[in-house]
Amino acid sequence: MQLQEILYTQGFGTRRVCAGLVQQGWVQVYAPGDGSSPQPCMDPATEFEPEGLRFRVQGRDWPYAQRAYIVLHKPSGTECSQKPSTYPSIYSLLPAPLRTRPQKSAVQGVQAVGRLDQDTTGMLLLTDDGQFIHRMSSPRHHVPKVYEVTVKHPLDARQTECLLAGVVLDDDPKPVRAAACEAAGAHHLRLTLTEGKYHQVKRMVAAVGNRVESLHRSRIGSLDLPAELAPGAWRWLTAAELVAVAAA
């Protein structure tokens, strides 16, 4: 594949823009399996095998990825929307190439796999793989998501038992149950859900007579939020992590 085409598929602009980046000396390419300094390439038509390719664009290293799978530590005070109404968008935390990766549909770039409220923090996945989004979001697949919940009033056994047995939310007569629920402290609830309804955690906690003070998603599937990711930081998922997040 030509270098300008590789850059285009990774979101670095139109083919003409990508060709210009190469011709202006902004692109260097790592030799396969070589961890040393990348070598400049001035010809946008130079052919490379894209799989496993690493390159540097305007001073930043990038891996070639046929599909992008990333994990973001969502900070409080951000919205999971490309057109936020009040708070900054989570997409503003990402570099431009991830936001502009070309797709066949009208929507471009990576998309959040589900949403977290503006005041909720923690693990958020983003990808440009529509099938992966469906697989992770569909309640039929029962992908567990773990939330660390700080509540206003002290927890008691009745509340956790009700959350496990099922509570009725105002817009759905069918009881909603937690897959797992434990009191990790007097005001700390660890809640595992396998579906995602609007404000679900907050509404479930309210249904048992308590109130959420803070909410943090710590795990998806079998993968914990990476400890090295500070709020607002992101990184690529490894192949092993990609398997772990989809583990039910």
| Active site residues per annotation | 117
Q: What does the alpha-carbon distance between residue 195 and residue 177 come to, in Å, rounded to a whole number?
A: 10
User: d(Cα 232, Cα 208) in Å, to the nearest integer?
Assistant: 32
Residues contacting residue 26 through CB under 8 Å, at least 6 positions apart? 57, 58
Coil/strand/helix, residue 96 = helix
- 175, 202, 238 from 158: Cα distances, Å: 16, 17, 41
Using an 8 Å Cβ cutoff, are 184 and 120 in contact?
A: no
How far from chain centre, in Å, is Cα 95? 14
Question: Alpha-carbon torsion 230, 231, 237, 240, what sign?
Answer: positive
Question: In this structure, are residues 71 and 123 in contact, taking their beta carbons and an 8 Å threshold?
Answer: yes
Question: Which H/E stretch holds residue 200?
Answer: helix 200-207
Q: Do the beta carbons of residue 225 and residue 71 sit within 8 Å?
A: yes
Dihedral sign for Cα 29, 32, 33, 39, please: negative
